[in-house]
Amino acid sequence: MHDTNRLYSGSHGDVMRNFRKLSQLKERRERTLNVRLPHVIKDKKDVECLFVGNFHVKLPRQSSRSCHVVFPTVEEKNKNYKLARGKTDNSKRVVIQPLSDLAFRTETKKIKKKIFIPEIKPDIQVTQTVFVSNIVNGTKSHEIRSALPGCARVTLLPSYNKDFRSAIAKMEDIQIAAKYLREKHNWPILKGHRICMKPDTRTKRKKTRSTSIPKIHDENITKECKSNESLNYTEDNNDGN
């Protein structure tokens, strides 16, 4: 029922062909009335009783209360429009009106939308031993331990500049360390400066057990070995003689 008003782009021949189709569509719409009944249209006769003369009722594919009535000329359309206005169906008003003019749409360029891809942050490595920095010089280890609930031991490191130093803090368990590393708002302020905490990424060297046989230095064993060697040498000489 609804006529399309899309303008297709293409070669010169296609443009002219589309222009003719649009012109024919516009001319047909000028000869058409839109009819809206107070109930669903069951048959063409529900609409035909409203008009006189020669016309064609164009029903939609799906059940509807509206339809188009096409007349052979614009004059016939205007005549029936005047006659049918004000008619009712079971004391309910029938809406009859001409079709609106075609609004030609020019082809618009498609605007490419920028897709925002959020930055994927890598998972924070969690270690039970935490590297603590931004510690004011002169701060004692027990002060750092008091500022970090759940801290078991603090080892102070040399100063990295004239104002600040760092330390290695070992937590009671890895869950406490994970809480500090993942929740920056829990980092305490020590002497007016918020300390920074990072996982301890130092490479730990495993202690390897020595597989070499230890040398035993015992004077008695050494003398016994030497006497055995001399006896063996004497026996070899006797066998040779």
Reported as a single tens digit per residue, the pLDDT across 150-160 is 999 999 999 99
Query: CATH code at 51?
Result: 3.30.70.330
Q: Which residues, 6+ apart, have CB-to-CB distance to 39 below 8 Å?
A: 65, 89, 90
pLDDT confidence of 229, banded at 50, 70, 90? low
Q: Which residues, 6+ apart, have CB-to-CB distance to 125 below 8 Å?
A: 181, 199, 201
Residues 199-228 have a mean pLDDT of: 59
CA–CA dist 50, 226 (Å, integer): 138
Q: Which domain holds residue 73?
A: 20-98
For the ranges 80-84, 118-122, 216-220, the maximum mean pLDDT occurs at 80-84
| pLDDT tens sequence across 62-77 | 989 999 999 999 999 9
**pLDDT(40) > 50:** yes
Residues 177-196 have a mean pLDDT of: 87
Decide if 158 is inside a domain.
Answer: yes
Helix (H, G, I), strand (E, B) or coil at 168: strand
Decide if 188 is inside a domain.
Answer: yes
Match 């004011």 to its residue by tokens: 136
**pLDDT(119) > 60:** yes
pLDDT value of residue 234: 44
pLDDT value of residue 204: 66
Same domain, 138 and 184: yes
Provide the domain count of the chain. 2
Half-sphere exposure (Cβ direction) of 216: Cα atoms closer than 13 Å: 8
CA dihedral 232, 235, 237, 238 (to 10 degrees): 180
- End residue of a domain, out of 98, 121, 146: 98
Same domain, 47 and 87: yes
